[in-house]
Structure 1
Amino acid sequence: MTKSKKTSIPEIKKSLKSYEKEALISMLMDCYKLSSDVKNYIHILINPDETIEELFEKSKHQIRQEFFPERGLARFRLSHAKKAITDFKNLSNDEVRTIDLMIYYVEVGVDVTNSYGDIDEPFYNSMISMYSNVIKKIVGNEALFHRFNERLETIVRKTAGIGWGFHDELSYLYMEFAAEFEEMLE
């Protein structure tokens, strides 16, 4: 069996230039009907502010559902919650709201632990990793620091008494983060 060669982007562009406007519109509408990502992308192009806000709220809801579902038991599918963040980031290209979702992921993770008790090491490692990634995105940006600092500090406070080194690691990350901004502001 031979492997089919994928068409390159320049070849696709060249081919699309030969189509008439109506055929292109028809092709685009077919893609719109087949893919929710294409549908969301087109909505962002046409009505960016409202669509991005809707996608942001939908992503928050998806994250919360993995930990505190409206029905049934929590599934703790971290990959599904993280996928909601990645999908939002890829569709919207909105860095501030993406950071907000990342922080929300950790906040909900902390709320889960405080509601149900200790989870497990992979769970906490995922929360620490996300928290660390947030800090990396904020470092050096004073506006983002002021926007998100209180929430990052609150996360650390809410983890006091949680095991697995979770609180200690978050405290360390936050103290380094805050110290770096203090130096920057001097």
Structure 2
Amino acid sequence: MEKADSVKWAQVKKILQKAEKTELIDLIRELYGHSVGDRMLINSRYLGESIKTKMNKMLEQYREIIKEEFSTENVSGKIRYSTAERAISDYSNSSGDLMGTLDLMLTYVEGGVQFARVYGVIDDEFYDNIEGMLERFCEQLITEEGQKYYHFFRERLLKVDVGLENVGWGFEEAIYDLVSDIKDFFEEEQSDS
């Protein structure tokens, strides 16, 4: 018997072309319930532009909340981590869109890193929050569903650790290690395929 991974698309295509319409609908229904990513793909493909427009608008609203918290023009210098994290959580819960959630998580990390580049040494809470979010981002990215989005985030991710030489407190090393680990993970995945 062939391993499931060794079955080629051409073989699957032949089987699907012979399948009854009701079988295909049942398969799509099963995929729809299988994962949020599958559901989002089906919704975006068949429910049209209005859903995509609404999702993009919502994503931008949450992105702005995060950017505002990490703005280097933040006069008080007080970052409300819970506000930025709630934006990510609210978007994720309301949309079920993993790619958008990953985008917001990386926006959070990028904002924090930029803040650190401008202000240098900050405090433990700051470092813990930024490193923690990058760690959660990486954990989501290596899931089966998350792996298909790596190519969307690769360039942004590889730029995160640039310019942190003068920050201190091990922040540069922690960010560098997380970025290197995720890069290595995906390079190994590619070489194994």
- Shared fold per TM-score greater than 0.5: yes
1:65 matched to 2:35: no
Gaps of 5+ in 2: 1-49
- What percent of counterpart residues are identical? 31
- RMSD of aligned Cα (Å): 2.1
| Partner-residue secondary structure (3-state), 1:158 | coil
CA distance in 2, matches of 1:178, 1:136: 13
In the other structure, the counterpart of 1:75 is 78
Q: Identify the residue that residue 38 of structure 1 maps to in structure 2.
A: none
Tell me the SS of whatever aligns to 2:166: coil
- 1:89: how far off? 0.6
- Residue deviations 1:50-87 (CA, integer Å, cap 9, x gap): 22111111111111222228785343011111111111
1:172 maps to a residue whose letter is D
Aligned to 1:92: 95
Query: What displacement does 1:185 show?
Result: 1.0
The separation in 2 between residues aligned to 1:159 and 1:144, in whole angstroms, is 26
Contact kept in structure 2, 1:65 and 1:74, CA below 8 Å: no
Tell me if the contact between 2:72 and 2:118 (Cα under 8 Å) persists in the aligned partners: no
The one-letter code matched in structure 2 to 1:162 is V
1:104 aligns with one of 100, 104, 107: 107
How far apart, in 2, do the equivalents of 1:67 and 1:92 lie?
24
User: In the alignment, which residue of structure 2 is the partner of 1:43?
Assistant: none
Match status 1:119 vs 2:122:
yes
Whole-angstrom CA distance in 2 between matches of 1:69 and 1:180: 33
Q: TM-score, normalised by structure 1?
A: 0.69
What TM-score does the superposition give when structure 2 sets the normalisation length?
Answer: 0.66
Matches within 5 A, 1:17-166: 47-68=50-71, 72-139=75-142, 141-166=146-171
* Contact preservation (8 Å) 2:72, 2:115: no
Rg larger in 1 or in 2? Answer: 1
Q: Which residue type is aligned with residue 86 of structure 1?
A: S
CA deviation vs aligned residue, 1:109-138 (integer Å, no higher than 9, x gap): 111111222211111111011101111111
Count of paired positions: 141
